[in-house]
Chains A and B, each alone.
Chain A
């Protein structure tokens, strides 16, 4: 076919042109890198000012003794008093119990969310999210009313004849755990639901096709595949429980002391911030260790997929 173009065919490219192109491309690459740094800088700055600085400050406070000298006496205080150790243990125990209850309450809900037709799962999702969006303080006081001696729960149980006289459901461990579970359960459901949604429905069919009863297929296929989401949710719940303040303070009625409450008391009890800071640093460290171990666990589970 005849060449009808009015432009001359391009000739061979000279060394100078190659060199110019190379430099221009290099300039573009650098401009792009600069742009990325400029875009992330504001966020990094916020994290530095609001996260890194306070933590460093906290650290520095924790190593200053009552008389203004540098010392570890605030930490020594913690290890010398049995009360502190017990309180840490109690905090971890409550976090553990709440996490376990959340798993048993949250797993079936997440499962339903994942398998129901969209219209129904939308309604159910709303039932999960509306309390989630409501203030924790409001929900905690609501539990106080529901669980009190003459509250609806006690009255119903008496009326049903399950108990003879009202039992104490609040101002103790029971109330604290109920209130915390209520606040924490969406944090378990949401990541779990996301990971269940990602499971290919044909896998359960394949299980059935190969001879698995529905129950067997659930335990052999669905449960293991939902594990990464379950562990992620459990970590979230456990770690958040460690720092709970309002709910145990109100529903525990002073009988249940978790670390956060002790930190608050420390500040009003001692003239300096040192002991409180030391407690906070210890809590932070233990939380970090928990997170690290769990993340390793998640990675190990995910690698098995």
Chain B
């Protein structure tokens, strides 16, 4: 188990639904997880991500649909026959057993020999950097240590896949960030197909190979972190991952336009049914003086407006600018001396420059 990669298995979820009475907690969700991938299910509370994980673990019976690990259908299997490791939100470590007994629990059940159990338990504890903690009681551990033990217990028996339900939500910010990296590194070493659930977009961006974003029981978009950030399909995704403000677009013969101003895009934007929005990431907008060189030609889009507020946020400054078109947008400026030299003040007229390559269209709903 240590440095040897376990044989990773692909997982396939097809048309999976879970209804509670009239509530459709999960509705017709389908996606594939590649062998060895770390996929994060991301969404606000009530989006169905936890229900989906519970169905994969076997604690919640789907209304219909299919879950397959490699070629095996597991939707009918009781949880104790699925051979899936799981890290619970509150860790669910057995309080009446020692750390070592907790980690050895799945091994005893699988009737490993005594020396093998000892050996594997020790290696699993070493892997989460808690070697020598075997005799400790659970209530003697800190939150971060419990988290690691829960992880060790979930991987020690080499389950077919690993599930994590909000694994870091109980930890404080610093520890959480350190554990994100640690879990990612552990995953890279083990190569185990892993499904994690979180509502924390930063955690999802940091840890995942791919992220599946859920909204009211449905899969909204699935993709690599950078892909979701750069090319969100809808306003929901754009707002949930990263910050953004939006400008309404209308179709004109010359292309999509904000008011009378035709917007230049890197790719050709196909006119689609429904309302279209221009997504503006605060860090992709540049503040330039309002007078002089307006218009960036065809390489940039320039909007004019008035600074309303400036918020100091440490590593950056956040400007709220009211455009002449009547929409408020946010602009982020790195806290660097070269940026601070000619800082606009509240009330100043400014121009905002959006590179053509950074201009993105998203759907208004869905």
Cα distance, A224 to B96, chains bound together (Å): 7
Interface flags, A184-226, vs B, CB<8A=1, else 0: 0000000000000000101101111111111011000100110
- Quick one: which of A47-98 are within 8 Å of B by CB? none
C-alpha spacing A63/B94, complex, angstroms: 53
Q: Flag if A305 contacts B96 (CB, 8 Å).
A: yes
Residue of A nearest to B163 (CB): A209
Closest chain B residue, CB of each to CB of A303? B137
Is B88's CB under 8 angstroms from A211's CB? no
Kindly provide the distance from the CB of B4 to the nearest chain A CB, expressed in whole angstroms: 22
Any B CB within 8 A of the CB of A161: no
Q: Which residues of A contact B109 (CB under 8 A)?
A: 210-212, 216
Alpha-carbon separation in the docked complex, A210 to B154 (Å) = 8
Is B78 part of the contact surface with A, judged by Cβ < 8 Å? yes
- Report if B65 contacts A (CB, 8 A): no
Chain B residues 267-308 with CB under 8 Å of chain A are none
Q: Is B336 an interface residue (CB 8 A)?
A: no
Task: Choose the segment among B36-44, B79-87, B118-126, B347-355 that binds chain A (4+ C-beta atoms closer than 8 Å).
Answer: B79-87
Residues of B near A225 (CB, < 8 A) are: 95-96
| B88 in contact with A202 (CB, 8 Å) | yes
A10 within 8 A of B: no
Distance, CA A205 to CA B163, complexed state (A): 13
Residue of chain B at shortest CB distance from A203: B92
Q: Which residues on B sit within 8 Å (CB–CB) of A14? A: none
**Which A residue sits closest to B59, measured CB to CB?**
A205
CB of B173 within 8 Å of the partner chain: no
Q: Is the CB of A208 within 8 A of B95?
A: no
- Are B106's CB and A210's CB within 8 A? yes
Residues in B with CB closer than 8 Å to A221 are 94, 96
Please report which residues of chain B, range 82-121, place their CB below 8 angstroms from some CB of chain A when the two chains form the complex.
82-86, 88-90, 92-96, 105-106, 109-110
A117 CB-CB contact with B under 8 Å = no
Main secondary structure of the interface of A (DSSP, over half): helix
Number of interchain pairs (Cβ within 8 Å): 62
B80-A206 in contact (CB<8A): no
A136 to B202, CA, bound (A): 63
A205 and B80 within 8 A (CB): no
Contact of B84 (CB < 8 Å), options: A207, A209, A216: A209
Task: Tell yes or no: A8 within 8 A of B by CB.
Answer: no
Residues of B in contact, count (CB < 8 Å):
26
- CB-CB under 8 A from A42, the residues of chain B are none
Asked whether B80 lies within 8 Å of A208 as measured between CB atoms, the reply is yes
Contacts of B78 in A (CB 8 A): 208
Contact of A210 among B59, B90, B95, B105 (CB under 8 A): B105
A210:B153 contact, CB within 8 angstroms? yes
> Once the chains bind, are A202 and B95 in contact (CB under 8 Å)?
no
Let me know if A305 and B83 touch, CB within 8 A: no
| In the complex with contacts A206-B86, A206-B88, A211-B94 CB distance below 8 A | no
User: Is the CB of B157 closer than 8 A to any CB of chain A?
Assistant: yes
- Which residue of A202, A211, A214, A216 is within 8 Å of B90 (Cβ)? A202
User: Counting CB contacts under 8 A, is B2 at the interface?
Assistant: no
Q: How far is the CA of A216 from the CA of B84 in the complex (A)?
A: 18
Greatest chain B CB density within 10 A among A208, A209, A224, A305 is at: A209
A304: interface (CB < 8 Å): yes
Q: Knowing A205-B59, A206-B86, A305-B139 touch, does A213 contact B80 (C-beta < 8 A)? A: yes
* B26 contacts partner chain A, Cβ-Cβ < 8 Å: no
Give A200 to B150 CA distance when docked, in angstroms.
Answer: 15
- Closest chain A CB from B84 CB (angstroms): 7
14 A-B pairs (CB sep. < 8 Å): A200-B92, A202-B89, A206-B93, A207-B105, A209-B57, A209-B79, A209-B84, A210-B109, A210-B157, A211-B83, A212-B109, A216-B109, A225-B95, A305-B139
* Chain B residues close to A by CB (< 8 Å): 57-59, 78-80, 82-86, 88-90, 92-96, 105-106, 109-110, 139, 153, 157
Per CB-CB distance, the 10 closest pairs between chain A and chain B, nearest first, are A206-B92, A202-B92, A210-B106, A208-B79, A211-B109, A208-B80, A209-B86, A305-B95, A224-B96, A202-B88
